[in-house]
Structures are given as C-alpha cells and as structure tokens.
Amino acid sequence: MITRRLLSELPFALPLYLLRLKIGPLPTTALELYLLILFAAFLNEYRLIGLREAWCALERFRWPVFAWVATTLLAVFIAQNPIAGLGLWRAYVLEPVLVFSLLRLVLPSPSLLIRNLFCVVIGVTIWAVIQYVTGYGIPHPWNVPIELGRRATGPFPYPNALALFVAPIGAYALSQKHTLGIVTIVAAFLSVLLARSEGGLIALGSATWIFLVLQPRFRRLILTFTVLAAILVAIIPVIHKPIVRELTFQGWSGKVRIYMWRDTITMLKDHWFLGAGFGGYPTVFKPYQRTHGIEVFQYPHNLVLTLWSETGLLGLLAFIWILIIWFRVGRMSIITALPLLTILIQGLVDVPYFKNDLAILFWMLVWLTTTRTQKPMG
C-alpha cells in the first residue's frame, strides 16, 4: 500500500523542510509536498471513510488532540498576521496531527519506521562529522577553527537544530536492544557533542543515566562512578567552575536566555490568556524588551513560554493534556518515557517542537511509545 510505504519512509523526508519553493504565489517546502502526496494517497486508498476511522484510531488522544487543534487555530486569528500564522499552524499543528492519526490507523508495526528514523540520525551524524572536520558548509558564526569552538550543524541552519533533532531519537534508541539502536545512541551523542549543545547533552545524558541505573547489571557501577565524578567535580575548581557557570546561566548564552525569559514573562502578564498569537511573538515582544544589544528571537527559548506566547493559555493547557495522556496511554515504564524526558529537559532552554521536522517527530515519538501491534484498516 502506498500510504503505508510513504509513512514508513517519512523520517527521510523530515529534513526536506529546508528545501523551500513556491507553487504559484504560495510558499511551501519539499516536506510539505511529501505530506501532500501522503494525504492524497491516503484519501485515494481509504476514501472519506478513512477520515472517520483515523479520528476513531486516536482513541484516548481524541479529545486532547481536538483541544490542541482548536485552541491553536484560535491563536491564528489572534496573530497580527493571520495569513502567516495559518501557514505556521498548518506546519506545526495540522500536518503533524494528521500524520499521527494515520500512523495509528495504517501502520501495523513500527519496526520499519524505527529503522528509518535511526538511519536518518546516523546519516545526519556522518554529515556533521565531515562538516566538523573540514569546516565546509557550516554557516556563520559557527564556522570558526576547531580550537576556537567550531560547531557542526549537519543539514540544519544552526547547531541546536541538530541537537534538538537527534537527542529524543537517541533517547528512544536506548530501549531498542539491537545493533542499529546502539549505533544510533552513539551517533546521537556524537552529533550533540559536535553541535556543542549543552541542553542536548544534558537531556540525552540524563536519559542515558536513568536507563543505565535501571539495568541491574550496570546499577552499582553507574552509581559508584556518579558519586566519584561528583566528588571530583566538587573538589577540583578547574572542573566545577565552568560547570557551575553553565548551570547557573552565568555565560553569555545563559544570560541572554534569562533576560529574554524575564521580558517574556512581563509581556505575558499583559497577554496572559490569548498570548501573542501564532508567529506573533517577535512583534508583540519587542516593546517589552528591556535589554539592549540582543536580537529579538522568533521564540523565547523555553517550551512553556513559547507555547503560552504562541497558542495562549488554552493552547498551553491542551499541550500539557497531550503530555499527560502520552504518559498514561502507553502505561509507560520509565525507559519508554525517556524521549518525553529528553524533550522536556531540552524544553527548559530551547523549543523542541515549533519547527517543521520537530513537530512531526514529536508525534512520531508519541506513536512509537504508545502503539500496540494491530491489524491495519483495509
């Protein structure tokens, strides 16, 4: 079946959002064209009854997903530029939710999609390694010599985009006890290190530490090593000073985030219910910015503040509802919850959702950690 095949191969299409083009006056991406073909194939094979079956396949996710779609659609019309907001809503809400519903309905087994997802991580890591060694293709300002802090970006436009993509997949790979899963974990760590992403390293490192502690054969060794490492960090200033500096946001990147969060909270006091609307953060935030010399970013580098700003209080609550159902529906052990943990840790200092590939990846991971082998429709 074409729909099943397109869904299984979707991981390879995720980075294609970087290929931007126009169909007449309408801007789009190669990823959206792939999704358009996928949805057209689904309607051709399943007809309109497939839409009803896809809705039913959501099961306990049905009403949280409906709340997410409805509240975010409201945020489109609140935005100062509703046309641009509608395009973002399509990419970050509508298309990922449709992919999720099709996954639950059409795919009988996650095995092929898992394999392809892992292959993509390995592929972008190879890209990042070549990039880091040669310096070729790294955009400014990260294209400095290695000794001055070069950062790999892979196929993405900035380093954190690489870390945000590979870290949750690496966390999911921890629960896959086969060679490809192990290679994927190593590749994810390597990508995060080459991107020099502290948030990604802490998130993936935390997930790995929890996984190893839960393994009886590794538990004593890991706990002993953790205690010894903590003692060394505490007594050796040359080690603990830079760690404390980063964890307490004393570096430039940390200070920028603190200033941005402070001013964003001030903004949300005036827009606490509706937020700024989809895509409206830079415009609404600008008058509230008290720190000079810092650019206005697209999002406030924190998942909660971004959700609140982009979708309003109702959108934030709908997303939290989804996270709760994600945990409950799968009756997840802590091991299968590792991708969720990784996303939440990265979400403390970045935005692991509001990007074309990350939004779809989020719903893929929801499906992978809650799916039950079932007979597909048709």
pLDDT at residue 330, as a whole number: 60
CB 377 within 8 A of CB 47: no
Considering only CA atoms, which of 308, 319, 257 is closest in space to residue 284?
308
pLDDT at residue number 250: 79
Q: What is the pLDDT at residue 331?
A: 59
What b-and-e string marks burial along 172-182, b requiring 16 or more CB atoms within 10 Å of the CB?
Answer: bbbbbeeeebe
Separation CA 365–CA 17 (nearest Å): 19
Closest among 325, 226, 306, 295 to 268, alpha carbons compared? 306
Count Cα atoms within 13 angstroms, Cβ side, for 114. Answer: 22
Are the beta carbons of 121 and 170 closer than 8 angstroms?
A: yes
How do the domains of the chain map onto residue ranges?
2-106, 111-370
The pLDDT, as a whole number, for residue 296 is 87
Give whole-number Cα distances, 179 to 54, 118, 209, in Å: 34, 11, 20
CA distances from 147 to 132, 142, 243, 253, 353 (A): 11, 12, 19, 19, 32
In the prediction, which pLDDT does 374 show?
40
> pTM for the whole thing?
0.94
First to last CA, the chain: 10
pLDDT of amino acid 238: 78
Note the pLDDT of residue 333.
66
Residue 187 confidence (pLDDT): 98
pLDDT at position 270 is 95
Q: What pLDDT score was predicted for residue 223? A: 94
Instruction: Write out residues in the chain with pLDDT < 70, as ranges.
Output: 330-333, 335, 372-378
